[in-house]
Structure 1
């Protein structure tokens, strides 16, 4: 039902974007241009085959903005409702214990949960839009109406991790402006950590002992990956004359941090991604595949999935029988769910990249980057998306759709589908390694 709702929204957006009033100049957009843009907007990805700033009229840009907002609301609400459903599948005692421990979203009615998602999203978007509008107005001399529109569009696009921008060079012109880059980065981080984490931080910001395992994992993994990504990208690109080379050291750190945030999965770029070193692209591949937190607007396999695999590895290296995380034992069912999601994600990306290699003569590193960016609903691009054949663009659309709904739907299906067996088969261990 959820997949059908997203598909229906994409088709409505496609029809609106094909109207002559949506495209600048004579005629209307082609079906492929319209459906690719609509898919990218609803799946809050940001990959484009045309220049958003010049190809679409204000009407077309408003349609894109609405599609982004609907897509962001939809995935946050769906993921939160799924979490509520899973909670209600537990025994009454477990539900009471969980509610008393978490003291946040857990047993509220669905209407209240949806209302919370909407209010929180609009509040953050309003605050960021206000800051950006004032900056465009006072710092760049934009007219009041234009400044407000730029602030609102980029605020919605950043909080929903969409990566659409109303400038032909995305945000390269503002690479060294912290009053533009930092509010956008802040909105991306908030949208990416997820609704449950934001709710719990709002209630217990100064009481970390009351945070549940999900909040602790998301915050620890997010901070670690942001710092590691910033250090890695800044170091690799430090002397690259096409990216960070000409900048002073303060600006290099700002750009490195901004790009590390965007890989979480927003897709704005303040430098030319296509000019980055291959080692940087590989680092971005890893960050994009991991993504952000669950029940948020970010994509990827989610930081919780990555963290679970890390703790499983740590337990195996130490020879421990159980996997312990922040003083709690991890459910064995979560082990299997994490492994299933990662293997399926890797399989989808590998198959798609191989298909793109058969269709084009573009190098592996760029095709792999584009595939992961689409699957992770990131939107970063080395500049090859518009030049791909129609079949290649269809593959990217499928990747965006699967990447947007697939991990959440798969995780919920695995969590909700529990089949009890009345017997167990005898154990045997194959040789590993």
Structure 2
């Protein structure tokens, strides 16, 4: 029984569940609320799950509803959720790769030759250092900006800088402003540090470590690193072009900004679906076409073993290579001169289809229990599952069943995809017999 509970595939969801429940209890304390009384259980639970799953969806206004103590609880939950995701997802990935006989890839990623306890300690240490450096750098830049340009006193400037740096690096999207960061849409010294913190956190620790070791030798990068970096760049460029083109004349978003400000806002908006819920423009004012583009970017998400959600960039582009190989009639799927094992292809397909199923079921539940337009419900369901946190503004309006549905989607989206992927990989085994071949009609 003990072995069953401590199995990594079961331990990760259990750890996040415990963290969410502890966070719920803390947020229900009267000291956590800015007003009188304590937060209702549903409000505390929804907010705690959103924070520990680094999502950013809220049903109450963060800055006016929660006290300073409550905000501290939130930032701690975000840090635990983000740090835990990076380390635990990395560990599951390493265990899975080891089961698949890819020990040499683990060695390249971890600067070590074995998978002993020393390796785990080294990984945790490097993740902690990376987290501190990025958050401290971004927090310092924003603190100085708040202090010197916006006239905050030192304490407020430091708290706002630290809170938003932690929220950005962990792809959480929680903000200490009722309109998120819309008030800073024209300020590059606020927008760009937040955007780059989101990008770095969302790329994934294994990629960052490998790039750090082999920055000047990209030829030697693993297929995972190449897919993640190339896919991230492609999605950022396409997202930027789409936002700039579709929203150029939209007076409700960027239509009234200067050309330079439109470029800044479009870049920021292209980064956020990677998956951080900061919004520099009112999401509810976006054109329908832009919402559709955002749906796609949110569902794909960021890099594996990072703080981003979604089905992950590598999953999406790996499936694209599978389709391309099938169209060309090739027996093997190759990426960067390497053949992709069929078990990895099945894992990618399983993760993607489970993601589609989760969003579809969640959307259907919301549709049955509300009269909100389908476009908004799909957007909300994807945002929850992909742990993005962007919203058209309907989250507080949802009934109890709607809030519970989003809670399940956030939790499943944060711990579900990589847990399923790891479980599939760790259960991979060779059979010494094969059944007769059959070819059902496809398409």
> TM class by shorter-chain length?
over 0.9
Q: How far is the alpha carbon of 1:98 from its aligned partner?
A: 3.3
Give the RMSD, CA atoms, in angstroms: 1.3
Which of 33, 38, 41 aligns to 1:23? It is 33
Distance 1:131 1:106, change over 3 A: farther
1:374 aligns with 384
What is the CA deviation profile of residues 317-372 of structure 1, one whole-angstrom value per residue up to 9, with x for unaligned ones? 22211111011111111111111111111011101101100110000000000000
Corresponding position: 1:404 with 2:414: yes
Corresponding position: 1:283 with 2:293: yes
What is the CA deviation profile of residues 45-103 of structure 1, one whole-angstrom value per residue up to 9, with x for unaligned ones? 00000111111110000000000000011111111111222243355xx53x4356557
- SS of the equivalent of 2:34 reads coil
2:335 aligns with 325
Distance 1:102 1:210, change over 3 A: farther
Aligned 8 A contact 1:87 1:107 in 2: no
Once residues 415 and 121 of structure 2 are traced to their aligned partners in structure 1, the CA distance between those partners, rounded to angstroms, is 22
Divergent runs of 4+, >4 A: 99-103
Corresponding position: 1:416 with 2:397: no
Which of 305, 319, 330 aligns to 1:309? It is 319
Once residues 370 and 112 of structure 2 are traced to their aligned partners in structure 1, the CA distance between those partners, rounded to angstroms, is 47
Which of 119, 125, 132 aligns to 1:115? It is 125
- SS of the equivalent of 1:263 reads helix
Corresponding position: 1:255 with 2:265: yes
Q: How far is the alpha carbon of 1:25 from its aligned partner?
A: 1.6
Once residues 98 and 369 of structure 1 are traced to their aligned partners in structure 2, the CA distance between those partners, rounded to angstroms, is 37
- Under a length normalisation based on structure 1, what TM-score does the superposition of the two structures give? 0.97
Aligned 8 A contact 1:19 1:29 in 2: yes
* Structure 1 residues not aligned, in runs of 5+: none
2:246 aligns with 236
- SS of the equivalent of 1:429 reads coil
1:98 aligns with 105
Which of 104, 116, 124 aligns to 2:134? It is 124
2:8 aligns with none
Once residues 240 and 342 of structure 1 are traced to their aligned partners in structure 2, the CA distance between those partners, rounded to angstroms, is 33
Once residues 399 and 137 of structure 2 are traced to their aligned partners in structure 1, the CA distance between those partners, rounded to angstroms, is 41
Once residues 323 and 421 of structure 1 are traced to their aligned partners in structure 2, the CA distance between those partners, rounded to angstroms, is 22
* Structure 2 residues not aligned, in runs of 5+: 1-10
Q: How many residues align?
A: 430
Once residues 19 and 44 of structure 2 are traced to their aligned partners in structure 1, the CA distance between those partners, rounded to angstroms, is 13
Once residues 196 and 273 of structure 1 are traced to their aligned partners in structure 2, the CA distance between those partners, rounded to angstroms, is 32
1:196 aligns with 206
Once residues 15 and 136 of structure 2 are traced to their aligned partners in structure 1, the CA distance between those partners, rounded to angstroms, is 27
**More displaced stretch, 175-184 vs 114-123:** 114-123
